[in-house]
Amino acid sequence: MVTARKGVLSIELNLLLQPATFEVVLKETLPDHSSAYYKIILTYQEFIMLEECLTKLSEDQKEKKFTKLMSTSSEVTNALFVKIPQTKFSQSVRVKWGDRYEMHLNASIFDYNLLFIFPDFIKELNTVDFKNRLDYFLDSDLPVYTTYKKCFFNPDDLQLLIQHYVLWHNSLIYNEKKINEFEKEQQEIVVNESAYQQFMLHNKGDITTNAGRLVSILVRLNPKTITK
């Protein structure tokens, strides 16, 4: 993209969220208008079902599934609560990719379903006419519930982003089990060392680490349009 001066990167944000864990602090409004606080750790699949689960939650299930928090705990005082529709709960969610990367779910990068990333050094792409035509095309072609963001990066930032995009993309294709099997096989029978080295070069880290790193780089490189 940088040297050939053409192309676009597209990223579906849900794919970056799927390998993460969700640390959810819940605020329950009680009949006397006081509040109770709970914490639960969820996978992506569990998190997207949370609203439905809360509408059917019994007191027994709540005690078994949730950890009760004191209102003075840092997890509560630092929370950014958002009301969950059709329930008596509000939630504050931190997204974690392993131990190294984390971010609050209200970060504006997660306001969008899709990111489209263009080079800013191609003048034909960085004009009002092009952006208006692109908006018209995307609004016409994408499902109505899809939100998107157009981002424009300079050559240095784009080069950095592409390196980590490739690592994340490859970890989507080659899951950790395949990588471990390939590594073991090549260690036992060194018959294709160059292929092994090339494979591992493009698959450093697991999908969780690569997804978290890519999110952090996107936020850092484009603070004006994608901010924490």
Mean of the per-residue pLDDT values for the chain?
Answer: 82
pLDDT tens digits for range 171-187: 887 755 555 565 555 45
Averaged over 91-107, what is the pLDDT? 93
pLDDT tens digits for range 107-164: 888 999 999 999 888 888 888 898 899 999 999 999 988 999 998 888 899 989 998 9
Domain boundary among 97, 123, 139: 97
Domain that holds residue 181: 9-15+109-221
Domain boundary among 42, 75, 97: 97
Q: Give pTM, 2 decimals.
A: 0.77
**Residue 4 belongs to a domain:** no
User: Rounded to an integer, what is the distance from CA 145 to the centroid of its chain?
Assistant: 18
DSSP string over 156-212: HHHHHHHHHHHHHHHHHHS-HHHHHHHHHHHHHS-S-HHHHHHHHHT--S-HHHHHH
Counting the structural domains of the chain, the total is 2
DSSP summary character for residue 58: -
Q: What percent of the chain has pLDDT over 70?
A: 81
Whole-angstrom distance, CA of residue 118 vs CA of residue 129: 15
